[in-house]
Structures are given as C-alpha cells and as structure tokens.
C-alpha cells in the first residue's frame, strides 16, 4: 500500500488582477485566462468588498479601499507562483500569453517580460482612434499598443507585465505613493543590478481603451504628470526627447507666438516649425491606413500631445502629481513615505 502523501504541483504563474469589484470586464476575461495553452497557473483577484461570485483556479481576496499598487503587493504576497503576471481588470489575454512568456524566463538574466496591449475585438470607433493615437505617437511607446520587434526595454506597464516573484519581493515591491508611476519605479529597481526586461510582441493582451475623448485626455494628463515627476526621481530612464517633445510644442506654441509678434524673422521660423508639425500629423494620418481614422486620429493626436505637454511640465515643476485618485468617487489618500 502506497502511504506517500500527494504533493501539490508547483505553480509557475500567479495572475494578479487588482479591481474595485467584480465587473463585466473581469467576467469577459476569465474564460480567456482559463483557456490558456499553458495551464500551470492560478488567478488572484484583489477587490475592495466581499464578492459572492466564484471562478475556477481563482482566489478572490478582499483588501479594502487601497491603491492598485498596494493591491498588487498583497496579491504577490498571497501568490504561490514563481512568476507573477500583472494584468489590469479591463484586459484579457491571448491564449498563448503564458506560453510565450515562460520561454523568456529560461534566461536567468531576464527579470521581467512585457507585451503589447492591443485594441480588443468589438471596440468602438473612438476606442480604435484612442489606440491609434497612442500607437503612432512615438516609436518608443507605440509598441505598447501594437506589435513591434522583440527588444530590451527600460520599463513596462502593469497591464501586461511578468516578473519573477523572488526578485519582486527582494526589491520591496511597488511603492504605494506612486500611482501612475509605480511600474516605472519597480522596473527601475528590478533592472539596476544588470538584469533586463524583454518586450515580446507575442505576449499579447487585449486592453480596453477609454470610451470617450474626455476620459482619454484625462488618462493622458494623469500619465503625463507622473512621467514629469519621475524625471526628477529616475532621470536615467525618463530624460528622453520623446517624453519632452509635447512640452516643447506647448512652450513653442505660446512663447514662440509671442516672439513672432516682435520679430518678423522669428515669425517665419515659428511658421516653419508648424509646417513641419503639420507634415508629421499628415504622415500619422497616412500610417493609420484608414480613411475613416485619418482625420479623427490627427485631431485627437493634437489634443493628446497638448494635454500631455501641459501635464508633463506640471509634473516637473510641481512634483508629485496628486495625493488622491483621479476617480472622485473613491477618495483614496496615497501614503507618503
């Protein structure tokens, strides 16, 4: 008679999803998670209230009304997987998401893996516009919204980020005072000892963009203020022309316009720069490869860059962007360290 105790299989992945409550996006995503080709995983959902719903291979943990960064930290602490897969509650994965990610971790120098967040099937027209604007804004950040080439990156967004659990805990996890910059903060800590984060275009999730222009611009302003603030914290990873370009456009628009009134020659230069900018916008419109998207993308691109430019300057000048969430219904205070 065999008296040996059965040992539980070692879990490779712990999928960590912070949310306020179980919503339709999560209900949409769960079947995609469960249909993964690579089945050695668990799902951990961090909510603010008790939930009656249950899903296979899933633990739902009530954590109260705390920032997403703290929810993710609690999820990692409760996890049993060797690799943590961070994904947002409004995203769902491709069926080979885990399978493609696990291959990258065969290299011990790889501390993290990220992939694109593509516009979901059935997205609205504006959501497609929003995704195209972000995808075509710059070669550096555009690969977050479309498939680029495999490469080493400095940091990646937590809507689609894999990290080794041990390494994540060794650096102390997310700093809860960063809300909008916690992914940059933790990636900086993970890579400063020579390890690397890989962008793999095959590690795909589908991420729902904002549903209207107001929400899109609000998100842009939020990101921009945090990126401006992070220039002061992590200049090595943030002082790149692509981050400063929208702010330079804003400064040129206002101060250049004033100087062009004083100097006729400067006025010609001022006009020349805007001609170049309009050529850039026209090229962006062509790259959409769609007549329907051509003008809407150009229009939203201009507004996005102006809002980003203002927010970036605000983050640099005034420092930490906000002491509470941008969602007025939550009223969550961020801890100060």
Residues 199-256: tens digit of each pLDDT: 999 999 999 999 999 999 999 998 888 888 888 777 666 667 777 889 999 998 888 8
The confidence score (pLDDT) of residue 55 equals 96
Q: Please provide residue 226's backbone torsions phi and psi, each rounded to the nearest 5 degrees.
A: -70, -40
Residue-wise pLDDT tens digits, 58-90? 999 999 988 889 999 999 999 999 999 999 999
| Average pLDDT of span 184-197 | 90
CATH for 13-210 is 3.90.550.10
Cα-Cα end-to-end distance for the chain: 58
322 pLDDT band, cuts 50/70/90, is low
Q: Which two tokens stand for residue 14?
A: 């712990």
What is the enclosing helix (H) or strand (E) of 72? helix 68-78
Interatomic CA distance for residues 337 and 334, integer angstroms: 10
| Average pLDDT of span 280-308 | 96
The per-type count for the chain, helices as H runs and strands as E runs, is: 13, 11
| Average pLDDT of span 159-163 | 96
The confidence score (pLDDT) of residue 173 equals 92
- Strands 117-118 and 196-199, by their bridges, are unpaired
**DSSP annotation of 200:** -
Range(s) within the chain of domains with CATH label 3.90.550.10: 13-210
Q: Which residue has the higher pLDDT, 283 or 315?
A: 283
What does R_g of the chain's alpha carbons equal in angstroms?
22
Residue-wise pLDDT tens digits, 10-69? 679 999 999 999 999 999 999 999 999 999 999 999 999 899 999 999 999 999 988 889
Interatomic CA distance for residues 123 and 127, integer angstroms: 6
The confidence score (pLDDT) of residue 237 equals 60
User: Do 294 and 301 contact (CB within 8 A), yes or no?
Assistant: no
Interatomic CA distance for residues 257 and 127, integer angstroms: 34
Q: 125-137 and 213-233 helices cross at what angle (nearest 10)?
A: 30
| Average pLDDT of span 100-109 | 94
132 pLDDT band, cuts 50/70/90, is very high
User: Do 79 and 108 contact (CB within 8 A), yes or no?
Assistant: no
Q: Which two tokens stand for residue 59?
A: 């633990």
The confidence score (pLDDT) of residue 318 equals 79
Place of tokens 């890989």: 198
The confidence score (pLDDT) of residue 264 equals 80
User: Do 186 and 168 contact (CB within 8 A), yes or no?
Assistant: yes
163 pLDDT band, cuts 50/70/90, is very high
3-state SS class at 111: strand
Q: What percent of the chain shows pLDDT beyond 70?
A: 88
The confidence score (pLDDT) of residue 169 equals 95
Q: Which residue has the higher pLDDT, 199 or 177?
A: 199
| Average pLDDT of span 302-329 | 76
Q: Which two tokens stand for residue 310?
A: 């203002």
Mean pLDDT (the chain, rounded): 88
């Amino acid at each position: 008679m065999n008296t040996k105790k059965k040992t539980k299989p070692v879990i490779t992945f712990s999928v960590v999803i912070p949310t306020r409550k179980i919503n339709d996006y999560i209900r949409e995503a769960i079947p995609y998670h469960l249909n993964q080709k690579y089945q050695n995983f668990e799902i951990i959902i961090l909510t603010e209230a008790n939930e009656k719903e249950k899903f296979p291979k899933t633990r739902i943990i009530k954590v109260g009304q705390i920032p997403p960064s703290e929810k993710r930290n609690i999820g990692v602490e409760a996890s049993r997987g060797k690799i943590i897969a961070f994904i947002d509650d409004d995203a769902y994965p491709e069926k080979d998401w885990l399978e493609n990610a696990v291959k990258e971790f065969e290299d011990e120098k790889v501390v993290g893996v990220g992939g694109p967040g593509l516009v979901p099937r059935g997205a609205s027209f504006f959501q497609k516009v929003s995704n195209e604007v972000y995808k075509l804004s710059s070669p550096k950040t555009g690969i977050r919204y479309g498939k680029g080439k495999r490469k080493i990156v400095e940091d990646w967004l937590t809507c689609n980020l894999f990290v080794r659990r041990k390494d994540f805990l060794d650096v102390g996890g997310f700093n809860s005072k960063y809300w909008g910059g916690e992914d940059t903060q933790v990636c900086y800590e993970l890579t400063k000892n020579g390890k690397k984060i890989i962008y793999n275009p095959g590690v795909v999730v589908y991420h729902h963009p904002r549903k209207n222009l107001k929400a899109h611009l609000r998100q842009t302003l939020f990101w921009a203020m945090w990126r401006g603030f992070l220039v002061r914290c992590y200049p090595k990873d943030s002082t790149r022309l692509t981050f400063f370009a929208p702010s330079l456009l804003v400064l040129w628009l206002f101060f250049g316009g004033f100087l062009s009134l004083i100097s006729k020659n400067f006025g010609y230069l001022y006009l020349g720069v805007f001609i170049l900018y309009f050529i850039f916008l026209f090229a962006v419109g062509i790259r959409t490869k769609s007549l329907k998207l051509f003008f809407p993308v150009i229009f939203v691109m201009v507004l996005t860059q102006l809002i980003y430019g203002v927010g970036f300057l605000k983050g640099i000048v005034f420092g930490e962007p906000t002491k509470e969430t941008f969602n007025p219904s939550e009223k969550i205070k961020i801890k100060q360290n």
